[in-house]
Structure 1
Amino acid sequence: MNKEVDINELLKELSLSEKIGQLQQLASQFYIKDSEGELTGPLKDLGISEEKIWVSGSVLGVKDAEEARRIQDKYLDKSSTKIPLLFMADIIHGYRTIFPIPLAIGCTWNLDNAVLCGQVSAKEAALSGVHVTFSPMVDLVRDPRWGRVMESTGEDTYLNSVFGKAFVEGYQGDLSSNYNIASCVKHFAAYGAVEAGREYNTVDLSDRQLKEYYLPSYKASIDEGAKMVMTSFNTIHGVPASGSKYLMQDILRDNFQFDGVVISDWGAVGELQVHGVAADDEEVAEKAISAGVDVEMMTSCYINNLENLVKEGRVQEELIDEAVLRILQLKKDLGLFSDPYRGMDGDKAKQMFMCNEHKEAVRKVARESIVLLKNDNVLPLSKDKKIAVIGPKGDSTDLLGGWSWQGRKEKITTLKENLINEIGNNLISYAKGCDVNGHDESGFEEAVNVAKEADVVILALGESSEMSGEGGSRAYIGLPGVQERLAEEILRLNKPTVVLLFSGRPLEITNLSKKAPAIIEAWFPGTEGGSAITEVLYGDFNPSGRLTTSFPYATGQIPVYYNSYNTGRPKTANTAETRYVSQFIDIPNEPLYPFGYGLSYTQFQYKDFTLSSDKMTKDDKITASVTVKNIGDRKGTETVQFYIRDLVGSTVRPVKELKGFKRIELEPQEESKVEFVITEEMLRYYNIDCELVSEPGDFHAMVGCNSADTYTKKFTLL
Structure 2
Amino acid sequence: MAADRIEALIARMTLEEKAGQLGVFADMVRPFAPDVNPDANVRNAGQVLEQVRAGRVGTLFNGVGAAAGREIQRVAVEESRLGIPVLLAADVIHGMRTVFPIPLGEAASFEPALAERSARATAIEATAAGLHWTFAPAVDIARDQRWGRGAESSGEDVTLGCAFAAARVRGFQGDDLRAHDALLATPKHFAAYGAVAAGLEYAQVDLSPQTLHDVHLAPFRAALAAGARTLMTAFNDINGVPASANRWLLTDLLRGQWAFDGVVVSDYTADMELIAHGYAADERDATAKAFLAGLDLSMQSGFYGAHLPGLVESGQVPMAVLDASVRRLLRLKEAIGLFDDPYRSLDPAREADTAHLPAHDALARDAARRSIVLLKNEGALLPLRRGGQKIALIGPFAQDRDNLEGCWTLFGDKTRYVTLEAGVRAALEAAALLEVVPGCALEAPLDGGIEAAVAAARRADVAVLALGEPQRYSGEAQSRLEIVLPAAQQALAEAVAATGAPLVVLLRNGRALALHGAVRDAAAIAVTWYLGTQTGHAVADVLFGAYSPSARLPVSFPQHSGQQPFFYNRPRSGRPELPGMAEFKSRWREISDAPLYPFGHGLGYARFAYAAPRLNTPQLAWDGTLVVTTRVANTGAVAGEEVVQLYVHDRVASRVRPVRELKAFAKIALAPGEARDVVFHIDRGHLAFSGADGAYRAEPGVFDLWVAPSSATGEPVDFELLPA
Q: Same fold (TM over 0.5)?
A: yes
**CA separation of 1:50 and 1:632: change in aligned 2, threshold 3 A:** closer
Report the equivalent of 1:252: 254
Report the equivalent of 1:679: 683
Match for 2:286 among 284, 287, 311?
Answer: 284
Shift of 1:482: 0.7
Match for 2:299 among 297, 300, 304?
Answer: 297
Tell me if structure 1 keeps the 8 A contact 2:17–2:55: no
For the residue of structure 2 that corresponds to 1:641, the secondary structure is: strand
State the alpha-carbon separation in 2 of the partners of residues 350 and 532 from structure 1: 27
Report the equivalent of 1:415: 420
Report the equivalent of 1:666: 670
- Give the alignment's TM-score, normalised by structure 1: 0.96
Report the equivalent of 1:654: 658
Tell me if structure 2 keeps the 8 A contact 1:281–1:301: yes
Q: What does the per-residue CA deviation read over 1:654-701, in whole Å, with 9 as the maximum and x for residues that have no partner?
A: 111111001111111111111111201111111121100111111111
State the alpha-carbon separation in 2 of the partners of residues 112 and 158 from structure 1: 15
Aligned: 1:63 with 2:64: yes
State the alpha-carbon separation in 2 of the partners of residues 69 and 121 from structure 1: 21
Tell me if structure 2 keeps the 8 A contact 1:194–1:202: yes
For the residue of structure 2 that corresponds to 1:373, the secondary structure is: strand
Tell me if structure 1 keeps the 8 A contact 2:458–2:499: yes
Tell me if structure 2 keeps the 8 A contact 1:500–1:522: yes
**CA separation of 1:148 and 1:613: change in aligned 2, threshold 3 A:** same
Tell me if structure 2 keeps the 8 A contact 1:264–1:295: yes
Report the equivalent of 1:106: 107
**CA separation of 1:146 and 1:426: change in aligned 2, threshold 3 A:** same
Report the equivalent of 1:97: 98
Tell me if structure 2 keeps the 8 A contact 1:648–1:698: yes
**CA separation of 1:202 and 1:41: change in aligned 2, threshold 3 A:** farther
Report the equivalent of 1:24: 23
Match for 2:438 among 425, 432, 437?
Answer: 432
**CA separation of 1:97 and 1:340: change in aligned 2, threshold 3 A:** same
For the residue of structure 1 that corresponds to 2:716, the secondary structure is: strand
Report the equivalent of 1:555: 561
Q: What does the per-residue CA deviation read over 1:229-252, in whole Å, with 9 as the maximum and x for residues that have no partner?
A: 000000012011110001101111
Match for 2:383 among 359, 380, 383?
Answer: 380
**CA separation of 1:251 and 1:163: change in aligned 2, threshold 3 A:** same
Aligned: 1:275 with 2:277: yes
For the residue of structure 2 that corresponds to 1:319, the secondary structure is: helix
Q: What does the per-residue CA deviation read over 1:690-715, in whole Å, with 9 as the maximum and x for residues that have no partner?
A: 10011111111111000000221111
State the alpha-carbon separation in 2 of the partners of residues 585 and 643 from structure 1: 29
**CA separation of 1:702 and 1:404: change in aligned 2, threshold 3 A:** same
Tell me if structure 1 keeps the 8 A contact 2:140–2:193: yes
Identity of paired residues, percent?
39
**CA separation of 1:42 and 1:143: change in aligned 2, threshold 3 A:** farther
Shift of 1:355: 1.9
State the alpha-carbon separation in 1 of the partners of residues 269 and 514 from structure 2: 33
Report the equivalent of 1:141: 142
Shift of 1:343: 1.5
1:315-394 correspondence runs (5 A): 315-376=317-378, 377-384=380-387, 385-394=389-398
Shift of 1:610: 1.6
Report the equivalent of 1:118: 119
State the alpha-carbon separation in 2 of the partners of residues 41 and 406 from structure 1: 20
**CA separation of 1:107 and 1:53: change in aligned 2, threshold 3 A:** farther
AA at the equivalent of 1:443: G
AA at the equivalent of 2:133: V
Tell me if structure 2 keeps the 8 A contact 1:436–1:481: no
Q: Quick check: 434-443 or 111-120, which moved more?
A: 434-443
Match for 1:580 among 577, 584, 596?
Answer: 584
AA at the equivalent of 1:459: L
Report the equivalent of 2:499: 493
Count how many residue pairs are aligned between Structure 1 and Structure 2. Answer: 712
Q: What does the per-residue CA deviation read over 1:204-225, in whole Å, with 9 as the maximum and x for residues that have no partner?
A: 1111110111111101101111
Shift of 1:27: 0.2
Report the equivalent of 1:130: 131
AA at the equivalent of 1:310: V
Q: Quick check: 113-122 or 72-81, which moved more?
A: 72-81
AA at the equivalent of 1:156: D
Tell me if structure 1 keeps the 8 A contact 2:30–2:64: no
AA at the equivalent of 1:19: K
Tell me if structure 1 keeps the 8 A contact 2:29–2:63: no
State the alpha-carbon separation in 2 of the partners of residues 77 and 434 from structure 1: 58
Shift of 1:5: 6.4
Tell me if structure 2 keeps the 8 A contact 1:175–1:181: yes
Report the equivalent of 1:593: 597
Report the equivalent of 1:220: 222
AA at the equivalent of 2:21: Q
Aligned: 1:468 with 2:466: no
Q: What does the per-residue CA deviation read over 1:287-324, in whole Å, with 9 as the maximum and x for residues that have no partner?
A: 11101111100001111111111111111011110000
**CA separation of 1:374 and 1:193: change in aligned 2, threshold 3 A:** same
Report the equivalent of 1:711: 715
Tell me if structure 2 keeps the 8 A contact 1:3–1:336: no
Match for 1:691 among 695, 699, 703?
Answer: 695
Aligned: 1:605 with 2:606: no
Unaligned runs of 5+ in 2: 32-36
- Give the alignment's TM-score, normalised by structure 2: 0.95
Report the equivalent of 1:84: 85
Shift of 1:617: 2.0
For the residue of structure 1 that corresponds to 2:28, the secondary structure is: helix
For the residue of structure 1 that corresponds to 2:186, the secondary structure is: strand
Tell me if structure 2 keeps the 8 A contact 1:153–1:160: yes
AA at the equivalent of 1:391: G
Match for 2:523 among 517, 524, 535?
Answer: 517
State the alpha-carbon separation in 1 of the partners of residues 352 and 144 from structure 2: 39
For the residue of structure 2 that corresponds to 1:711, the secondary structure is: coil
AA at the equivalent of 1:408: D
State the alpha-carbon separation in 2 of the partners of residues 267 and 37 from structure 1: 20
AA at the equivalent of 2:8: E
Shift of 1:42: 11
Shift of 1:571: 2.9
Match for 2:192 among 180, 190, 200?
Answer: 190
AA at the equivalent of 1:341: Y
Q: What does the per-residue CA deviation read over 1:66-104, in whole Å, with 9 as the maximum and x for residues that have no partner?
A: 332232233434422210000111111011100000001
For the residue of structure 2 that corresponds to 1:541, the secondary structure is: coil
For the residue of structure 1 that corresponds to 2:383, the secondary structure is: coil
Shift of 1:344: 1.7
State the alpha-carbon separation in 2 of the partners of residues 468 and 353 from structure 1: 28
AA at the equivalent of 2:532: G
Unaligned runs of 5+ in 1: none
**CA separation of 1:31 and 1:121: change in aligned 2, threshold 3 A:** closer
Report the equivalent of 2:408: 403
For the residue of structure 2 that corresponds to 1:430, the secondary structure is: strand
Tell me if structure 2 keeps the 8 A contact 1:3–1:335: no
AA at the equivalent of 2:507: L
Shift of 1:8: 1.2
State the alpha-carbon separation in 2 of the partners of residues 57 and 40 from structure 1: 17
For the residue of structure 2 that corresponds to 1:187, the secondary structure is: coil
Tell me if structure 2 keeps the 8 A contact 1:150–1:504: yes
**CA separation of 1:328 and 1:612: change in aligned 2, threshold 3 A:** same
Tell me if structure 1 keeps the 8 A contact 2:53–2:79: no
State the alpha-carbon separation in 1 of the partners of residues 484 and 415 from structure 2: 28
AA at the equivalent of 1:227: R
Q: What does the per-residue CA deviation read over 1:415-456, in whole Å, with 9 as the maximum and x for residues that have no partner?
A: 111211221321111110111112446311111111211111
Report the equivalent of 1:15: 14
For the residue of structure 1 that corresponds to 2:139, the secondary structure is: coil
Shift of 1:514: 4.1
Tell me if structure 1 keeps the 8 A contact 2:490–2:519: no
Task: Show structure 1 runs of 4+ deviating over 3 A.
Answer: 2-5, 30-43, 48-54, 74-78, 439-442
State the alpha-carbon separation in 2 of the partners of residues 509 and 192 from structure 1: 23
Aligned: 1:540 with 2:546: yes
